[in-house]
């Protein structure tokens, strides 16, 4: 789900509680036992990408992924049983929302765009501002957010326990029909971890053979430091991101949207937000964490002369600054159109309708 105002005390309490549980002898035995449960499964990874990081205490299984799929589409995880995670991350929209900002069960509107959730297994920190350190931790935030699903995770677990469906599914995945917050988060994390998406146009050794003449020129603009200069943050890999947090000059005063600083307290992190992947851009508008740009043309013009210079601006942006102001890059209108053509090739339509990630209730 998208970033919104959260009840930080409740989230912190749950995370601390789970951490306490994981340190006790009983849960050590549960974690050891979980390795013998279910059918081991290796999630396919994009070509030329590193091995997928998998937590030792949450090995991936077919049963765990399937359980997580059901939970991802389960509306009982919300306070009024009307909203699932999938309600703001629609598969048909590359797991983003049709709205600029998602709307929670109480009618509250969020303040950040719903991020696509493909390839999250490779990201060391999650959400636009890096507030979660794992997928297992991530799933607890939207459930308890007052402006999203607004439900206690413990009450959500009790609702699942009272069904005929879920105790058996949890037993198949974790050899335990007693549903816990920990195993609920693990199953949902397994499902989200399984969602991968990439386009061959940015994979070295493959992309060169997939681009036409216009797209190739656009790729050259993308990697030209005097023109697009996109590749430092949006790396030429299957993921088109370096998974870091950067201040790209969206605001003249970065304290108005502190981003990563809100988690670290480090002044150097003021105004930094997660660098997104450039996959399925046709489906992920509006752009930027605050959805301020409706079109990719607006984004391109922003990176030309529209950004703001401030104290924590990315070093790669500072290269295009003179006398404290942005200076036009060495590109032509043709270069910009070619870049747009290249960006639109970064598409993976298989994610939009792959049945293994679809609603199991349909």
Segment 65-98, tens digit of pLDDT: 999 999 999 999 999 999 999 999 999 999 999 9
Residue 204 has a pLDDT of: 82
Q: What would the mean pLDDT of 12-22 be, rounded to a whole number?
A: 44
pLDDT at 1 over 70: no
Q: What would the mean pLDDT of 33-42 be, rounded to a whole number?
A: 77
Q: Sketch out the chain's domains with CATH numbers.
A: 8-196 (1.10.760.10), 200-349 (1.10.760.10)
Please state whether beta strands 245-246 and 321-322 pair in parallel, antiparallel, or not at all (unpaired).
unpaired
* Surface-to-core class of residue 338, CB atoms within 10 Å of its CB (0-12 exposed, 13-18 middle, 19+ buried): buried
Query: Percentage of residues in the chain with pLDDT exceeding 70?
Result: 90
- What is the per-residue DSSP string for 68-111? HHHHHT-GGGSTTS---GGGTSBGGGTTB-SSSS-B-TTS-B-S
pLDDT at 265 over 60: yes
pLDDT at 140 over 80: yes
Residue 138 has a pLDDT of: 97
Residue with tokens 């309708």: 353
Please state whether beta strands 325-326 and 321-322 pair in parallel, antiparallel, or not at all (unpaired).
antiparallel
pLDDT at 28 over 60: no
**Residue 282, CB half-sphere, CA atoms under 13 Å: how many?**
10
């Amino acid at each position: 789900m998208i970033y919104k105002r959260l009840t930080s005390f409740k989230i912190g309490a749950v995370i601390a509680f789970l951490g306490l549980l994981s340190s006790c002898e009983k849960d050590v035995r549960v974690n050891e036992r979980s390795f013998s449960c279910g059918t081991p499964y290796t999630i396919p990874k994009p070509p030329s990408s590193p091995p997928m990081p998998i937590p030792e205490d949450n090995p991936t299984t077919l049963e765990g992924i399937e359980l997580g799929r059901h939970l991802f589409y389960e509306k009982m995880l919300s306070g009024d049983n009307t909203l699932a995670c999938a309600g703001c991350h629609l598969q048909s929209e590359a797991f983003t929302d049709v709205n600029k900002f998602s709307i929670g069960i109480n009618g509250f509107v969020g303040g950040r765009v719903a991020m696509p959730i493909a390839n999250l297994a490779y990201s060391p920190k999650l959400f636009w501002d890096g507030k979660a350190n794992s997928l297992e931790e991530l799933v607890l935030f939207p459930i308890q957010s007052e402006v999203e699903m607004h439900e206690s995770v413990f009450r959500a677990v009790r609702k699942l326990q009272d069904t005929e469906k879920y105790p058996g599914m949890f037993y198949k995945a974790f050899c335990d029909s007693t549903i816990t917050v920990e195993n609920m988060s693990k199953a949902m994390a397994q499902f989200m971890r399984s969602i991968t998406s990439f386009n061959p146009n940015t994979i070295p050794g493959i992309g060169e053979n997939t681009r036409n003449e216009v797209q190739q020129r656009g790729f050259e603009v993308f990697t030209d430091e005097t023109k697009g200069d996109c590749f430092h943050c949006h790396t030429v890999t299957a993921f088109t991101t370096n998974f870091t947090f950067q201040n790209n000059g969206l605001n003249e005063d970065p304290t108005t949207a502190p981003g990563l600083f809100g988690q670290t307290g480090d002044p150097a992190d003021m105004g930094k937000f997660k660098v997104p992947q450039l996959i399925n851009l046709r489906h992920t508008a509006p752009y930027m964490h605050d959805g301020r740009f409706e079109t990719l043309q607006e984004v391109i013009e922003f990176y030309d002369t529209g950004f703001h210079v401030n104290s924590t601006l990315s070093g790669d942006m500072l290269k295009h600054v003179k006398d404290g102001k942005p200076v036009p890059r060495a590109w032509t209108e043709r270069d910009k159109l070619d870049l747009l053509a290249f960006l639109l090739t970064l598409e993976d339509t298989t994610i939009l309708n792959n049945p293994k990630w679809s609603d199991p209730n349909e």
